[in-house]
Structure 1
């Protein structure tokens, strides 16, 4: 949390001074803090019985949805505050991030303080679920398990498509005359699709299995990418495309995260879950500059077509283990 607050502050100062180097450095700090937040879903999954892990993951995503949906709507008001402080308009959301991360850091510090025993005990329960791996099955062996391979691939693929779409969407919409308020509203709808259905998706993963949920997410992403290829601005088709893109990400990440908690022994889960976050981050790092380099006139359509191809390949790759060895693969002992 401290790194997130520091990163947001660095970005604001960099924007005021016009320093791209410091802006990139602040963005790295923000990304690091964001990774720690997303890892909380695995802690929730480990704190409940095995048959409820999907629902626990979903509830964490639902809690995330509140801030994720509100933040794009703050694009306009926060921009007004930033201009009032003599800062560029887009610094507004970084001011919000500074306040959010800073407040979370203070809350976490209070939870771990002996002066707040109730919260301190709650934090201790969460920490007790994360233990280093000792002996038994090696990390490399766990990563080669078919279920782990599918889960990590699905996490990377879902984030690749979602980040690619959302990197270029604000530019695409602005190029077609959409204002910051419209852009913020459409992004908010996309984020609702990303997080709000998570409890239901988690329940589906618990009841019907994680692999079918991941496959469903791939199909939804495929439809979203097709619609995105024909998007021409803030239209009903664009809105549907963005909502479905968020929903496909939700199915993919919730399903793959649930599968990952089932694929490896408990003592190795923190290590593999961290690798899962790294694969998601790597996918984002790869796709963002690729999308930025696309020509502005037809770049959005090209991105949609490329995403269709990638999603179709992922669907074909996931379909084989979904009907083959994954459901019957013996779970390694915990």
Structure 2
């Protein structure tokens, strides 16, 4: 598949999976790495700073909540902007909002207002929405059958910035002292600079825009049919109709196929959201749990770095497996890993080592579910309705994390880390049952 984009002096051919896609992946990876510095660093100190400024441990849970609220609130508007104008302006807008959020967070510690800090963290949370949007942008120009792999490569790039981010707590304290603010707030200076660089990378590098170019290519040659119309194994295969969203299906069979696809999309979004809620619910209270058991800021940073490494480091592996085995088997692998993590979290007690192992495995399980889930969501959609469904997924995913973060703070205040593990186990059961429902529909990441 190829299209021709007219340049100033010559015509440049583009095709799915060609050189433009490889360059796009590099640019998205660079922007995602830079954005990850801010996200990882801000999450590391958010809960500790809220507890310090407010004087209330229960409020500390709002750090992950407000972060997730910011990501959820931005997901649909950024998706709509991408749908109208392309991925590049959407990504850059998100980076700039997060940049302002870093400034607001620093100011909040100067004036001593925890609610203002919450607003700043929420604005920084938009950077997480940008990361989610970037992974979908990686699939715009991907060749059919390679979307899971290409998507996972950008997800993997989050590892670099996200792992280093929490390790900036120590240097951030030095910066905080130097500029005369609360020491921990110095981390937000790194977030500010990182978002500026990410915005520049995306603005200068994503030319031509991947989504707009993909539409141009597919306007000449239709998008492969979504994988959502397949029936359970052993049943007759019903192809997905090629009609635009909002128009009436031509036949009753088409209507059933479209209804089946929509149900699969909704269940996929729910599965991704459950993985997010488990991850945020346990991660949100880890800093305070460790500090209550003779932990230090450095131990917190190392633990969160291991957790974030688990989330992203194996993404290419899961992307490759999704392309070979199918999405649902990889999702089920993720749930099995998460189950082990929840069990370790429940028995961890005061052991820093068990907490670190549990948080790392939570990240690995989350990575398997979300990479395969995002790939499945992409395969279930056409280029016309893809940004809309991706925005809905990111919104529900972030909102689920926000709710889980808020409830985890309350649960931790009245219980302990074991209570949070039990809560996570309940969410895991819901996600696994929904995944089995997807498996009965034989949803695959592979186009045949």
* Paired position in structure 2 for 1:152: 269
Cα gap change, 1:251/1:179 in structure 2, threshold over 3 Å: closer, same or farther?
same
Alignment correspondent of 2:98:
4
Q: Does 1:90 align with 2:191?
A: no
Which of 238, 241, 254 is the matching residue for 2:355? Answer: 238
- Alpha-carbon distance change, 120 to 40 in structure 1, aligned in 2, over 3 angstroms: closer
Distance, in Å, in 2 between the alignment partners of 1:94 and 1:130 is 38
**Per-residue deviation at 1:328?**
7.9
Is 2:285 aligned against 1:168? yes
1:269 aligned onto 2:354:
no
The answer to whether structure 1 residue 65 and structure 2 residue 159 are counterparts is yes
1:250 aligns with 2:381: no
Q: Give me the whole-angstrom Cα distance separating, in 2, the residues matched to 1:27 and 1:328.
A: 37
1:207-256, Cα deviation, whole Å (9 max, x unpaired): 11111111111121111111111112343322210110000110011010
Question: Cα distance, 1:312 vs. partner?
Answer: 1.8
SS in 1 for 2:290: helix
What is the CA–CA distance in structure 2 between the aligned matches of 1:154 and 1:328, rounded to whole Å?
Answer: 15
State the partner residue of 1:52: 146
In structure 2, C-alpha distance between the alignment counterparts of 1:248 and 1:143, rounded to whole Å:
27
Cα RMSD over matched residues?
2.5
Aligned-pair CA distance for 1:139: 9.9
Counterparts of 1:108-147 in structure 2, within 5 Å, are 108-109=202-203, 111=204, 119=205, 121=207, 123-129=208-214, 136-138=244-246, 145-147=262-264
Structure 2: gaps (5+ residues): 1-94, 217-241, 249-257
Q: What is the CA–CA distance in structure 2 between the aligned matches of 1:202 and 1:98, rounded to whole Å?
A: 31
Which one of the candidate residues 164, 187, 205 is aligned to 2:304? Answer: 187
Give the match for residue 441 of structure 2. 325
Bigger mean CA offset, 266-275 vs 41-50:
41-50
Matched, 1:223 2:331: no
| Aligned CA distance change for structure 1 residues 24 and 235 (closer, same or farther; 3 Å) | closer
1:145-171 Cα deviation digits (max 9, x unpaired): 233123201110111011111110001
The equivalent position to 1:39 in structure 2, one of 133, 139, 142, is 133
CA deviation vs aligned residue, 1:271-304 (integer Å, no higher than 9, x gap) = 1001111011110121111111124473211000
State the shift of 1:126 in Å.
4.8
Runs of 4+ in 1 over 4 A off after TM superposition: 139-144
**TM-score normalised by length of structure 2:** 0.67
Counterpart pick for 2:171 among 62, 74, 77 = 77
TM-score calculated relative to the size of structure 1: 0.88
More displaced stretch, 300-309 vs 225-234 = 225-234
Q: Which runs of 5+ in 1 are unaligned?
A: 112-118
Structure number with larger C-alpha Rg: 2
